[in-house]
Structure 1
Amino acid sequence: MRTLLLCLALALLAGCAHADKGPGSLPYKYWRLGFLAPDYMEVWVETADVEDIRGQKFFNVGSGTVSVHLPKDGSGNAKGWRKTWGKGRYVNGADLPKRIYVRWQSLAEPQTYSTIVEIPERARQLMTERLEKPCPTIAYRHALAVGLAPGGVIRGWVMSTCDDPIEVFRAQAAVEPKGPYEGTSGGRHRPLSPQAKTYIEQHGIPYGSW
């Protein structure tokens, strides 16, 4: 009887451990994809699609506004990047990311860009590396933050809830030849907010600072 109870206990523990793992290579249930922009440099993501290392494709896992700091008193600084996960969501059912396709409107210019970002192996290694210091939630870098800036600049970081972000890629997107909304809006981009418009009129766009 004692042996049977021990086997049952081990089976339950194994089941719990399995429930905390995601598909394939993930040591956790799912990873998060978020988007951000420098202060006042507003962005509208038309679509973001993900392909994982098993070849699975996840369409439109990101769309709409991104995380951007817009203080009304003009105290923000568009140069550089803030440390943030970005606005986004968890990519449920996906293994580690292999590449990401993103098409977005840079409202500050305005201009539309698109590109396919190849996620480097180093990023996947960091996403599965257990953190040494105690973490209140997931002890892994389970978030991928993607920064989008005027000029088609893209930066990427892996992040956790208790560790500093680590940059894993830089990329340059091309101007989307069809324009906003794949040419269905007559060339019209989404409008800037009053805060962003005022800041850009006063300070311009700090190209080269990202």
Structure 2
Amino acid sequence: MAKRRIVMIGSTGLIGRQFAARTAGEAELHCLQRSGGGPGTVHVADPEEWPTLSTSLAPDIAVSALGTTMRKAGSEAAFRAVDLDMVAAFAEAARKGGARQMIAVSSIGADAASRNFYLRTKGEMEARLGALGFERLDIFRPGLLRGPRGGDRRAGERIGIALSPLVNLVLRGPLDRYAAIDALDVAAAMAAIADASEPGTFVHHNRDIRRSAHD
């Protein structure tokens, strides 16, 4: 049986690196990147070329772990260009190429009607993906991500991660979805549901993510 073909963007980020490492030996993984190497087959190209590549690769599954920060983007417009427009263009092209499943990393609290710019942008991204007609759409909404991100951390994030073992003790029950979570668990859960057969749209919060990662 031929291996499932996965096309991915965001493979150099915290979740993406770990998803790619887990998946490269089990699937035909194609990573679209601006530079560098990594697991699977890496296609180095400008982001403007990613949609064309995505369609031509005719994937079974499309995966986005792409995301930036306001600090790196420099403006709200630049942030939207990455976290909304780039993700949506990639997904639309993958769907055109035949992808039946889309897996995307979003954020806890994502809501297209939110007054918060970040959460509104993530919610709009989810809505754009939902309108593309994938047989199965998996949206991951993890809490604060823990993992080796080097110097690419804001001071608030570093403090939040340091305090997360104590804070997570308080965030139980329905509040669990706001707790910190290991990026490795998110990547493992994404790998576990890749090529899942049940159709529909599925939103995964912390509890679902941990369950899928450790089943």
TM range (shorter): under 0.3
| Structure with more of its chain in strand, by fraction | 1
Higher gyration radius (CA)? 1
TM-score normalised per structure 2: 0.26
Q: TM-score, normalised by structure 1?
A: 0.27
Structure with the bigger percentage of helix: 2
